[in-house]
């Protein structure tokens, strides 16, 4: 009797087990680039798809109608911040410029991790197994519990730490300074089995000797543009948090914040949170190392990137300078993406100053900043953008970074148009053209910037040539620069940049500057890395040479 019951129930039970296994959610491994802003790349997927900080993706491009064998490998990006249906990534030196609509493929290791997570969730919801006093051995084997290995993301530690020796020779005073420092690059995921992740890059000096360290070098300024922090992102939790130096995932227009944020997901589309910190990035339009900022925001995302996707953030913030009241402002960011062809982005700040501007004490709200851009991806090889940029006050970024290309977004104040054109797989041309007119100007000035990226040359280097002429609220001038990059597998990387900058501004006494920098990183065997670099700077106020050598461990 019992055997007949087992024979009757066995097939039904086997079908239920097979159905439960078949219902394991599929894992999404392919994403698309939905937005580009400064050094950030935005994906059309987030925690709802299982993405977490530290995951790596390969970016590629395929023209419409071309076979898969013609797919162009562009480079690698790393997830640095995640929202429910979007993610902010950092580009790892792409071979060519990343465009809207490019494809990002999850690395095999991270894809396997997502499969294991989704599979484990489905197994937890499987029906209870019925126990038989006797039965078929094959059926008994199906009921056995099969131990699964732990997630590879748990306590995964990758990065490098190096000790660095700096030598700076001030050519004006003849004073030599020696500095010791540390270089840290870390990607630590699922710390202690939880959902905290530590990722980012930091480089700085902690001692100085044999001279008065009065020269703030170009390398010192670039070191302040780093991002590093501790982030909490749990796909099974409504809470998101981060502490360190970061871009707020829902409002990157606020630039880098040195502090922390805390947010809660309300449903699938709404997120509300708070943030606090300072404004330490010298490439920010409102840069001030002595400014403190705090605020709150609400973010909303809806739609599909296959058709129309909409994201909006609104917030309120206040700032203090040396802890004295400065501004109270509201900020808005809106993004509309129509498939992979059209995107509209706008950010705005309107403020009320703490100190009155007139004798009657008037502190009425005023527009402080506005940036609008429309991008059209006409084809894989051609994209156009139209922008309008407005600043009420003069931007306070560090003008010594003009020639590096990090401040190009501030050169056009007014209407401008730009394009990116890749006529061949080894060449990309980009440029902007616009007019700028300040209140004190009698007529508008023509600003233009252009560049050419070459990746397939007789010598094995990626070459970026750039020229710009500008007339803006902070001054007028021009710069030319050339950048050479060579990556040979995982063992050797070489970078060289040289430039000439001319500027006429009341905010700096350096009118003409020549600079050059070179760096080399070499991986010794598996874990040890040697780095060296040199910088030459010749300007009206600063003239120095800088040499550094670092040696460290890669883990």
Phi/psi at 455 (5° precision): -120, -15
pLDDT, residue 68, reads 63
Contacts for 66 with CB less than 8 Å, ≥ 6 apart: none
Q: What is the CATH number of the domain that holds 53?
A: 2.40.10.410
Rounded Cα–Cα distance for residues 551 and 530 (Å): 5
Nearest C-alpha neighbor of 156 from the set 186, 128, 124: 186
Q: Which domain holds residue 63?
A: 2-143
Nearest C-alpha neighbor of 551 from the set 516, 534, 527: 527
Q: Is residue 162 part of a domain?
A: no
pLDDT, residue 243, reads 96
pLDDT, residue 528, reads 93
Q: Is residue 8 part of a domain?
A: yes
Specify the 3-state DSSP secondary structure of 441: coil
Name residue, tokens 């010598």. Answer: 459
Say if residue 535 is exposed, middle or buried (CB neighbours under 10 Å; 0-12, 13-18, 19+): buried
Rounded Cα–Cα distance for residues 423 and 38 (Å): 24
Q: Is residue 91 part of a domain?
A: yes
Domain count of the chain?
1
Rounded Cα–Cα distance for residues 125 and 171 (Å): 71
* C-beta of residue 540 within 8 angstroms of C-beta of residue 511: yes
Tokens, residue 193:
């089995």
The CA distances from residue 404 to 14, 455, 465, 497, in Å, are 65, 20, 11, 9
- pTM of this prediction? 0.69
Q: Is residue 70 part of a domain?
A: yes
List per-residue pLDDT tens for the chain, 555 residues long: 444 444 444 444 444 444 444 444 467 888 888 887 766 788 888 887 888 888 888 888 876 656 666 677 888 888 888 877 788 888 876 656 788 778 898 887 788 777 766 655 444 443 444 444 444 554 445 444 445 566 677 888 888 999 999 999 988 888 888 889 999 999 898 898 889 999 998 988 877 666 555 678 888 888 888 889 999 988 889 999 999 999 999 999 998 999 999 999 998 899 999 999 999 999 888 898 899 999 999 999 998 878 899 999 999 999 998 888 888 999 999 999 998 889 999 999 999 865 544 444 555 788 999 999 999 999 989 999 999 999 888 888 888 888 787 888 888 888 999 999 999 888 999 999 997 766 566 667 789 999 999 988 887 889 999 999 988 888 889 999 999 998 887 789 999 999 999 988 877 777 889 999 999 999 998 889 999 999 999 987 789 999 999 999 988
Name residue, tokens 């030319």. Answer: 480
Q: Is residue 22 part of a domain?
A: yes
DSSP assignment of 47-114: GGGT--TT-EEEEEE--TT--GGGPEEEEEEEEEEE-SS-EEEEEE--SS---TT-EEEE-HHHHHHH
% helix, strand, coil for the chain, step of 5: 15, 55, 35
Tokens, residue 391:
């600043």
Q: Is residue 66 part of a domain?
A: yes
Residue 356 DSSP label: -
Say if residue 389 is exposed, middle or buried (CB neighbours under 10 Å; 0-12, 13-18, 19+): buried
Contacts for 171 with CB less than 8 Å, ≥ 6 apart: 538, 543, 544, 545
Q: Is residue 120 part of a domain?
A: yes
Rounded Cα–Cα distance for residues 62 and 67 (Å): 8
Contacts for 210 with CB less than 8 Å, ≥ 6 apart: 176, 177, 178
Rounded Cα–Cα distance for residues 280 and 245 (Å): 9
Q: Is residue 269 part of a domain?
A: no
Rounded Cα–Cα distance for residues 555 and 551 (Å): 13
Rounded Cα–Cα distance for residues 150 and 130 (Å): 27
Specify the 3-state DSSP secondary structure of 13: helix
Tokens, residue 345:
């982005």
Neighbours of 420 (CB within 10 A): 20
Contacts for 8 with CB less than 8 Å, ≥ 6 apart: none
* C-beta of residue 527 within 8 angstroms of C-beta of residue 552: no
Phi/psi at 145 (5° precision): -85, 125
Sign of CA dihedral 399, 217, 552, 489: positive
């Amino acid at each position: 009797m019992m055997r007949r019951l087992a024979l009757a129930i066995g097939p039904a039970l086997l079908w239920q087990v097979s159905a439960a296994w078949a219902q394991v959610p599929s894992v999404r491994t392919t994403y698309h680039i939905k937005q580009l802003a400064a050094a950030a790349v935005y994906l059309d997927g987030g925690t709802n798809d299982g993405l977490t900080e530290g995951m790596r993706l390969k970016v590629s491009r395929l023209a419409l109608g071309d076979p898969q064998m013609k797919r162009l490998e562009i480079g690698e990006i790393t997830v640095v911040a995640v929202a429910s249906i979007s993610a902010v990534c950092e580009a790892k030196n792409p071979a060519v410029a990343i465009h809207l609509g490019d494809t990002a493929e999850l690395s095999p290791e991270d894809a396997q991790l997502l499969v294991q997570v989704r599979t484990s969730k489905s197994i937890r919801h499987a029906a209870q197994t019925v126990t038989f006093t006797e039965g078929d051995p094959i059926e008994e084997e199906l009921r056995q519990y099969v131990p699964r290995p732990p997630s590879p993301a748990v306590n995964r530690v990758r990065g490098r730490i190096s000790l660095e020796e700096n030598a700076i020779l001030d050519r004006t005073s003849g004073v030599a300074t020696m500095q010791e420092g540390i270089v840290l690059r870390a990607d630590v995921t699922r710390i202690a089995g939880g959902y905290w992740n530590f990722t980012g890059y930091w480089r700085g000096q902690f001692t100085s000797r044999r001279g008065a360290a009065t020269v703030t070098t170009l390398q010192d300024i670039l070191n302040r543009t780093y991002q590093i922090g501790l982030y909490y992102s749990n796909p099974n939790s409504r809470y998101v948090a981060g502490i360190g130096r970061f871009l707020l995932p829902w409002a990157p227009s606020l630039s880098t914040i040195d502090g922390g944020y805390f947010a809660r997901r309300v449903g699938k589309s709404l997120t509300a949170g708070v943030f606090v910190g300072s404004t330490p990035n010298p490439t920010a339009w409102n840069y001030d190392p002595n400014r403190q900022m705090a605020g709150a925001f609400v973010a909303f995302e809806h739609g599909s990137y296959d058709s129309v996707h909409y994201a909006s953030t609104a917030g309120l913030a206040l700032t203090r300078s040396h802890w004295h009241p400065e501004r109270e402002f509201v900020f808005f960011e809106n993004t509309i993406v129509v498939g992979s062809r059209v995107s509209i982005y706008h950010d705005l700040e309107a403020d009320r100053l703490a100190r009155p501007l007139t004798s009657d004490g008037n502190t009425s709200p005023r527009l402080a900043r506005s940036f609008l851009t429309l991008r059209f991806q006409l084809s894989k090889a051609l994209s156009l953008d139209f922008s309008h940029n407005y600043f009420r006050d003069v931007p306070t970024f560090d003008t010594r970074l003009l020639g590096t290309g990090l401040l190009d977004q501030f050169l056009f104040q007014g209407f401008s148009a730009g394009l990116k054109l890749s006529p061949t797989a080894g060449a990309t041309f980009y440029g902007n053209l616009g007019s700028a007119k300040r209140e004190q100007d009698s007529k508008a000035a023509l600003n233009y910037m252009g560049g050419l990226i070459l990746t397939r040359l007789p010598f094995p280097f990626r070459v970026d040539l750039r020229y710009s002429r500008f007339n803006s609220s902070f001054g007028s001038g021009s710069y030319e620069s050339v950048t050479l990059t060579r990556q040979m597998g995982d063992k050797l990387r070489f970078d060289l940049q040289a430039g000439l900058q001319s500027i006429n501004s009341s905010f700096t006494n350096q009118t003409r500057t020549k600079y050059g920098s070179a760096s080399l990183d070499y991986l010794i065997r598996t874990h040890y890395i040697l780095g060296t670099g040199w910088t030459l700077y010749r300007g009206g106020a600063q003239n120095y040479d800088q040499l550094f050598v670092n040696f460290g461990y890669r883990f």
